[in-house]
Every structure is written in structure tokens, then in C-alpha cells.
Amino acid sequence: MTRTSRTSRTFRAGRANRPGRVTRPRRADRPRRASRTGGPARAGQYLALLAYLVFLAFPFLWLISTSFKPATELGSLHPTWIPKDPTLANYRQAFDEQPLLQAAGNSLVAALSAAVVAVVVATPMAYVMARHRTLLARAATGWVVVSQAFPFVLVIIPLFLVLKNLHLINSLPGLIMVYVVWALPFALWMLVGYVRAVPAELEEAAAVDGASRLRTLVSVTVPLLAPGIVATALFAFITAWNEFFFALVLLKTPEKQTLPVVLTHFLGAEGTADLGPLAAAAFLATLPSLVLFAIIQKRITGGMLAGAVKG
Amino acid sequence: MTLATAKKRSGKGEGRGAPPAGMLDHGAWFLVLPALLPILVLSVGPLLYGISLAFTDSQSGRTEPTEWIGLLNFQDLLHDTLFWDSFRIGLVWAVGVTVPQFLLALGLALLLNQNLRFRGLARSLAIIPWAMPEVVVGIMWRLVYNPDAGILNETIRDLGLGDGRDWLTGIGSALPAVIVVGIWAGMPQTTVALLAGLQNVPRELHEAAEMDGAGAWRRFRTVTWPALKPVALAITALNFIWNFNSFALVYVLTNGGPGGRTRLPMLFAYEEAFRYGQFGYAAAMGCVMVAVISVLLAVYLVGRLRGADER
């Protein structure tokens, strides 16, 4: 078989050893029957797939290309895919023009704290939602769904007023509180799925041995959930790292602002954007998200698959 | 805590899975509170507060207390042609993004569900846009659309189709240009959701249909689509809401220009609230947005479900 299916098979084998995983096999990963639609149809499919990938990839490649072009090349007509005279000057200039390091630091603090707090409070809640069929659990599930439909305006104005009264405007702690709540719906959605995959018998066995509920949760359930918790935390980190609207409203001074907000400062007035440094900074700001996303990608799609199958 | 656990332990014999319906014991409350408090204080509370603000004359930086003014904001909104222009643009944008996004993502999901070579690699590449900050997506496409240094106009020049244009500042081209970016940015989530839905398609049925000589389109209509439909409905409804509430992409791409041609309702409300300080009025806009969108979605979902019954 092809390389692709081998990797997915090893991945599944690795997963099966971890009881915390959703164990339903993904049918699409199984080798399919020998194709009967060979020839032109197959070729057409590859062509279509290629077209999709080109459409999805070319803006990013163009961003990278632009980030290595000197100002003279960017100012002239007839740009090329490969820079004629590649340079790192844009990267240096980007750091000179805007406080990128400080902004990255702010983003890191905000995203890391939000991710950690979100999973710490979401895990016990998800546990109750998965194991108890109560009114509260149902209300929480309802909130997870409805919160997806919130128009941000309706939430941000009151949040702004509340945080202002608490003197948490223009402060990272205030932003972190918002990010925690903002990350909770998806975190709960993912974690409930992971908890359901942990056999309740294991917990019952621990309970029979006399472990308290908290004890059972901490020493039986959470270790089994660990991979899922890590994936959820990383996803929360990425969403907070990428977030723009709340940061734009809540952070006023440049030394407090996060990376996405600082990136918009490169844009300047209409049409006056300094393209090279803009591209360089944008590329750097994306790297952490891309790396983390690559790590958890299969788990996130797997979690969504599990949720959809159950739903 | 000891009381709670002791109580729980005594109840263990009956089996964990079945606590009295609708009730949570003390221990469960202890697990739920860390998430419940932030949700109530920073999500549910602000939402209710936001709705109530719509009936006040709340403004930023005012010293006298805000007053209830009943439906005055809504009466003003009714005659605010700028807002309804913006609302119309929002609807065009939301439909213009959601429908092509769904069709394209469906095609991609069907391809990725085939037993093609490099499928794993293609899957990973296809969801890259998901990991990117919206601000970076906006910056990236500004570089693509750039009249001189952009790849789009260069390609048009290469193909001998003229000189291209300034896409994002042209009165006629700005909205279509940002819609393309919207489609691009939401493709991965939609594709992953549809891929998840495709796991529900009964393979045996598919094979039986193929044996009976049903063509690809017929198999799709009679086997794949019925199984995929619930997921398709859910993701288009969600996409519609997300797109209607979208902010960062267009803020970076055009900031509502040229001449308000891309001023989505969220941008309008943001300016009203945080540039002009009209909190009450902006909150009223938020309420109108939720109300209209809820009605549209209800009609859409009911219509689709009824269509399913009749068949």
C-alpha cells in the first residue's frame, strides 16, 4: 500500500493502545476495495485534488515569497514567484518597526494561561456532562451550541463595561478571562467525547476499592484522558494566539497588545502598507500555530469525527 | 468535601451510571463550579446585560446615569438606512460565502474520502488555513490582490487578459474579492465536518448500488446524500452564523471600504460602539442581527427538514 495508509495504520495502532482515545475505527482509513473506476476518472480526481491544493496553498506561498523580496522588487511591476534577489532585510525591518517580540510575549502569556485555565476548569465539567444526565448537563450542552451563535457585539460591549469597572481593561488578565470563557465551548465539546471513551467500569472498580470521587477522577480518569486534554489545551492555545477582535477592543496601548493587533499596525493608512516587513511579520506570527496544529491535527479531526458520529 | 464523598461512596453500590435523574450531588457541584462560574459571569451574564443595554441610552464616557429609553433605539434603527445597507451587505456576504464554501468543501471531502494516493498529505495540507490567524489570512490575500506586487494581477497580465485592477478598492470588485477570501478561510472546517459526515454513509449500501449499476451521481443522490444530510445542514447553518458575525478578515482586507461597500454589520456595530461610543445603539444592532438571523435559520432548517419528509 501507499505510504499514506501505512502511516494511518500505525497511527491507529498507537491510538488503540491508549484507552483515552475514541476507539471507533475510521472507516476511510481502511484500504478500500480495488478501484473499478480506473483510467480517466481517476486522473480527473487527481487533477481536481491538485486544483484544490493549489487554491488552498498559493496565498501562503505568495506570503512567504513576498517576505523575502527586497523593497525595490516589491515596488516594480511583474513580481515573480521566486524572489530574484532574496533578502532577510524585511525580517530585520519588521522587528525594528513594531514591538514584535513584546507582542509575541503578550500573546504567549495570554494564550498559555487561557489554555491551561480552560482545560483545568473544563475537564471536571466535561466529566460531569459525560457521566450524569442531568438538567445542568443538558443546559451546559445547550450553552455550548448557542454560544457558537453569539454575535460578538452583544457580548463585547457588556464585557467591556464589566471589565472596565474591575479595572481590567488594557490588561492581559482581563483578556485571559475572556479567552478562557471563549475557549470553553470547544474544549467541553472535545472533552465530553474523550470522557465517554473512558470505560465507566474502570472508575467503578476504583470506587469499589474505596477511592473517593475526586481521587478516582485524579488518579484514574485524568491519566487516561491526558492525550485528549493536551490536544484540547493546544487547540485552545491556537485559538487564543490567533484571536483578534477581543484583543482589539480590550487592549489599548501598544506595549500590552498581542501579535494579531500589532500586525495590523503594519497596514497603516489605505494603500501605504510596507509589504515586505508586513509579510515577514505575518509569516512569523503564523509559525507557532502551524507547528502546534500539525501536532494535534489528527486528534482534532478525530474528535470532531467522534462527536459527529455520536451526535 | 468529606461529607460529599462519604455520601457518594455509600451510593456506589447502585452503579455510577445512574444517579437520580435531574439531580447533582454536592461532589458533582464541586466539579462543575470552576467552569460554571466563569460561564455565568463572563458569557451568560454579559449576554443578558447586552440585551438589556439595547433598551438604554448607554454611551461611553458619560457621567450622568444611563436611562431606560424603551424601544427608542430600535425605532432609530428602523430609519437608519446606513445600517440596513450594511445588513444587506452582511447577508450577501454570508450567503455568498456559505453556499460556494459548502459546495467546494463537499467536493474536496468526497475526493479525500476516495482511496487516492497522497490522501493523508492532501488532508493535512487542506486544513492548513484553519490554523492561521484571521489577521494573517487577511494580510496574505492583500498581498495576492495587491495591484502591482500581487500575484493575481500578474497572472492576469501574463495571460494577456488586460492590466488587472485594484481589487480591494474597486467599488464593484471589493465585495466579490472579500467573499473569495471568506470562502477560502472557512474551507477546512467545512471539509472536516463533511468528511466526518461521510463516515456515516453505509458502505454496504454503496457497494450494493454499484453492483446494481447505479452511476456515481445516482449513488451520491440516493446513498451518500441522505446519510450526509444532517451534517450538511448543521455545518451550513453554523457557517452562515459564523460568516454573518465575521469581523477580522474584512477589517484587515478593506476595513469596510470602499465607501462602505464591504462594511459588514459587525464592522458597523464595532464602529458605533467603540469609535462613537454609542453602546446602547450598538447593542440594539446586535439584537436585531440575532433576531433576523434566528428567523432566517429557522425557516431554512424547517424548510430543509420538511423537504426531507416529503421525499
The domain that holds A133 is classified in CATH as 1.10.3720.10
Query: How far is A179 from chain B, CA to nearest CA, in Å?
Result: 10
Q: Position B39: which residue type?
A: I
The residue ranking higher by pLDDT, A176 or B62, is A176
Domains contained in chain B, CATH given:
72-310 (1.10.3720.10)
Q: What integer is the mean pLDDT of B99-111?
A: 95
Instruction: Evaluate if residue B208 carries a pLDDT over 90.
Output: no
**Total of domains in chain A:** 1
Q: What is the pLDDT of residue B310?
A: 54
Asked whether residue B164 carries a pLDDT value surpassing 90, the answer given is no
Instruction: Name the residue of chain A whose CA is nearest to B186's CA.
Output: A56
Compute the distance between CA of residue B252 and CA of residue B270 in angstroms, rounded to an integer.
Answer: 14
**pLDDT at A10 > cutoff 60:** no
Dig out the grid coordinates for B281 from the structure: 445603539
| Domain-located, residue A137 | yes
How far apart (Å, rounded) are the C-alpha atoms in residues A88 and A217? 51
Task: Give the residue numbers spanning the domain of A230.
Answer: 98-310
Q: Is the pLDDT of residue B20 over 60?
A: no
- CB of A144 closer than 8 Å to CB of A193: no
pLDDT at A305 over 80: no
For residue B219, the model assigns a pLDDT of 86
Q: First and final CA of chain B: distance in angstroms?
A: 57
Q: Indicate whether A34 belongs to any domain.
A: no
Confidence of residue B201 (pLDDT cuts 50, 70, 90): confident
Nearest to A67 by CA among A46, A94, A29: A94
Mean pLDDT, residues A152-164 taken together: 87
B144 vs A53: CB contact, 8 Å cut-off? Answer: no
Partner-chain contact A4 B135, CB within 8 Å: no
DSSP string, A204-241: HHHHHTT--HHHHIIIIIHHHHHHHHHHHHHHHHHHHH
Radius of gyration in angstroms for the set of CA atoms belonging to chain B, rounded to a whole number: 25
Residue A244: inside a domain: yes
Indicate the average pLDDT of chain B.
84
User: Looking at residues A52-74, what average pLDDT do you find?
Assistant: 90
**Which of A81, A121, A155 comes nearest B38 by C-beta?**
A121
Euclidean distance between CA atoms A205 and A215, whole angstroms: 12
* A-B Cβ pairs (cutoff 8 Å, strict): 331
- Of how many residues is chain B composed? 311
Q: Rounded CA gap, A241 and A62, in Å?
A: 23
Average pLDDT (A143-159) is 81
Query: What pLDDT shows up at residue B9?
Result: 39
Work out the mean pLDDT of chain A and round it to a whole number.
Answer: 81
Residues A287-309, mean pLDDT to the nearest whole number:
73
pLDDT at A123: 93
Cell of B202: 453505509
CA separation for the pair B270, B279 (Å, rounded)? 10
Q: Least CB-CB distance to A148: which of B144, B151, B238?
A: B238
* pLDDT digits 0-9 by tens, A219-255: 888 888 888 899 899 989 999 999 999 999 999 998 9
More confident residue, B81 or B119: B81
Is the minimum CB–CB distance between A66 and chain B shorter than 8 Å?
yes
d(CA B26, CA B6): 11
Under 8 Å between Cβ of B293 and B299: no
Distances (CA, A) of B141 to A132, A181, B215, B253: 47, 30, 39, 8
Under the phi-then-psi rule, with left for phi > 0, alpha for psi from -120 to 50, and beta for the rest, what region is B150? beta
pLDDT for A17: 40
Is the CB of residue B124 less than 8 Å away from at least one CB of chain A? yes
Q: Does A72 touch chain B (CB under 8 A)?
A: no
- With a cut of 60, say whether residue B13 has pLDDT above it: no
Does residue A154 surpass a pLDDT of 90?
Answer: no
Cell reading at A10:
500505525
Asked if the structure places residue A151 within a domain, the reply is: yes
Judge: B133–A7 Cβ closer than 8 Å, yes or no: no
Distance in Å, alpha carbon of A299 to nearest chain B alpha carbon = 12
| A89 assigned to some structural domain | no
A173 belongs to a structural domain: yes
Q: How far apart are CA B219 and CA A37, in angstroms?
A: 14
As a dihedral over the C-alpha atoms of residue A21, residue A26, residue A30, residue A36, rounded to 10 degrees, the angle is -170
B150/A contact by beta carbon, under 8 A: yes
**Residues B209-222, mean pLDDT to the nearest whole number:** 84
With respect to residue A71, please indicate whether it lies within any of the assigned structural domains: no
Q: Given a cut of 70, is residue B123 above it in pLDDT?
A: yes
Chain A CA closest to residue B18? A132
Average of per-residue pLDDT across A101-109:
94
CB contact under 8 A, B149 and A75: yes
Q: How does pLDDT run across B38-56, given as a tens digit for each residue?
A: 888 888 888 899 899 889 8
Domain assignment present for A114: yes
Q: Which residue has the cell 500555530?
A: A289
